[in-house]
Amino acid sequence: MGKSKIYTRTGDQGTTSLVGGIKVKKTHARLEAYGTVDELNAFLGMLVSLIEGEELVCQLRYVQHKLFSLGAYLATEQEQTALCMAGQLSDESVVYLERAIDEMDSSLPPLKGFILPRGNRAAALCHVCRTVCRRAERRILALEEDGVCELDTNVKRFINRLSDYLFILTRKLNYLTCSDEIYWDKSCK
């Protein structure tokens, strides 16, 4: 088997193919959505490189695999191409995040207000991941709102729960390194 070519030149005119071969512009809403999911996955890869605990690394690896599934889902025009099994998100993937959130949250002090994004290097990067996740959620929801496609409920639930997971993970990462949480000074003094 020969080495595959990295460049194909098929996108030189500003188009690309969805799963199944349907050509769309590279500025298409679907590409914005799954491109943002890909960006989130890349930031999570950086985050994993900063975390030492095997349990958290395994959780993030799970999330990265699910984000690839989400990307496959978003890249498939299901009215013309059947969705592959790998592109489906199940109730289990949402429950997995909820359990991880509950477990981490139970070990943390109660939240007293809005906290500033900061902390140790991993926690600060996790805040970046959380904000990219929120943007991905907005891009995904816009697909349905703009009539591009109807979204599976688990897609919406997973991406929403993921940002919650990332918020709790930032708190956990700061807690593990005894980094203080700085609460928003609402007085603006």
What span, in angstroms and rounded, lies between the C-alpha atoms of 185 and 22?
51
**Angle formed at CA 25 by CA 24 and CA 27, multiple of 5 degrees:** 130
Residue in the block written with tokens 């191409």: 81
Q: 21-25, 79-83, 123-127, 180-184: lowest mean pLDDT where?
A: 79-83
What span, in angstroms and rounded, lies between the C-alpha atoms of 168 and 162?
10
Please give the pLDDT value at position 16. Answer: 61
- Choose the most confident range, by mean pLDDT, from 6-15, 19-28, 92-101, 145-154: 92-101
3-state secondary structure of 29: helix
**Angle formed at CA 42 by CA 175 and CA 81, multiple of 5 degrees:** 125
Q: How close are the terminal C-alpha atoms of the chain, in Å? A: 66
Please give the model's pTM, rounded to 2 decimal places. Answer: 0.89
Give the DSSP letter of residue 144: H
Give the DSSP letter of residue 17: E
Please give the pLDDT value at position 52. Answer: 86
119-178 residue pLDDT tens: 899 999 999 999 999 999 999 999 999 888 889 999 999 999 999 999 999 999 998 887
What span, in angstroms and rounded, lies between the C-alpha atoms of 112 and 115?
9
State yes or no: pLDDT of 10 exceeds 90.
Answer: no
Higher pLDDT, 117 or 127: 127
Q: Are strands 23-25 and 15-17 parallel, antiparallel or unpaired?
A: antiparallel
Higher pLDDT, 89 or 185: 89
3-state secondary structure of 15: strand
What span, in angstroms and rounded, lies between the C-alpha atoms of 143 and 148?
5
70-116 residue pLDDT tens: 998 898 776 665 556 666 799 999 999 999 999 999 999 888 888 87
